[in-house]
Amino acid sequence: MKWLPNSALLISMLWCPLTVGAVSLPEVTVDYSADSTMEMEGGMTMKSRIYHTVDKDRVEMGGSDGMATITRKDKKVVWQLMGNMYMERPMDASNISGMDTFDVVEQAEVGQETVNGVKTTKSKVVAVKKDGSGKFGGFFWTTKEGITVKMDMLSKEGERKMRMTSELTNLKIEKQNPALFEIPAGYTKNDMGAMMGMGGMPNMEEMKKNARQRQSGGKPLRDSQAGESVGEQIPDVNKMMKGIFGK
């Protein structure tokens, strides 16, 4: 399946509650946690666990052996955690939502509905790219606290279309542990450019190289030794992907 360029926008709108404000939906006023399921055309289903406070977000994919993304609005930074490593990048409009390239042309309340046992207000939103090359539109189901419990969105660029839906389950409105939004002790910072390979996937060779250097103090290690070191830090990819996609 070939994704549209703005499919990343739809995904980020799911993973980062901060983007909801970009289309003038109610601002989230409470802390909460929930399980999230996103479905895209082609049969792809992505599962995650999300945690939210007023200025912080955490998204976990793949369970305890997977990845976590922490967005710190207060520090203007995004941390990507995997294994015992983390990468850091500045937070700005482009890497959070991409909404700066769109104009909202329609937004209206549709009515009241209950989604997964939660009372919500259903709203319709339509936005177009400033350069006219594409648009997206659909519906948001939002609680009185501003939590988007469900989305059903369609993006279009030229003749190509992509639909994405998402829902929250096990929603709990409660104070979150501040430690969820911090880098755990013992995590090693790695350069994002070096650590990420083609398509944004982890560069395993670079990870092995870093493991060699840390374990040997600069002396070369056998590949088997490096592999053991990396294995202690990097989650099993197959297990991680199973946790993310539910397959």
pLDDT digits 0-9 by tens, 9-55:
444 444 444 344 345 556 788 999 999 999 987 788 999 999 999 89
Centre a 10 Å sphere on the Cβ of residue 226 and count the other Cβ atoms it contains. Answer: 21
- Beta carbons within 10 angstroms of residue 216's beta carbon: 14
Output the pTM of the full model.
Answer: 0.70
Tell me the HSE value of 57 on the side-chain side, using a 13 A CA sphere. Answer: 24
**Along the 247 residues of the chain, how does pLDDT read in single tens digits?**
333 334 444 444 444 443 443 455 567 889 999 999 999 877 889 999 999 998 999 999 987 678 999 999 999 999 999 989 999 999 865 445 455 667 888 889 999 999 999 999 999 989 888 887 888 899 999 999 999 999 998 888 878 888 889 999 999 999 999 999 999 999 999 875 544 544 444 555 554 555 455 455 545 444 444 444 444 444 554 554 455 445 5
Contact 49, 191 (CB under 8 A): no
pLDDT at 78: 92
Q: What is the pLDDT of residues 139-157, one digit of tens each?
A: 999 999 999 999 998 888 8
Give me the pLDDT at residue 12, please.
47
The sign of the dihedral angle between the CA atoms of 141, 147, 149, 150 is positive
- Copy the structure tokens of residue 241: 């992907």
CATH topology of domain 7-179: outer membrane lipoprotein receptor (LolB), chain A (2.50.20)
Structural domain boundaries in the chain: 7-179, 190-245
Beta-strand ranges (E) seen in 19-173 are: 32-40, 44-52, 56-61, 67-72, 77-82, 85-90, 102-115, 118-129, 135-142, 148-157, 160-173
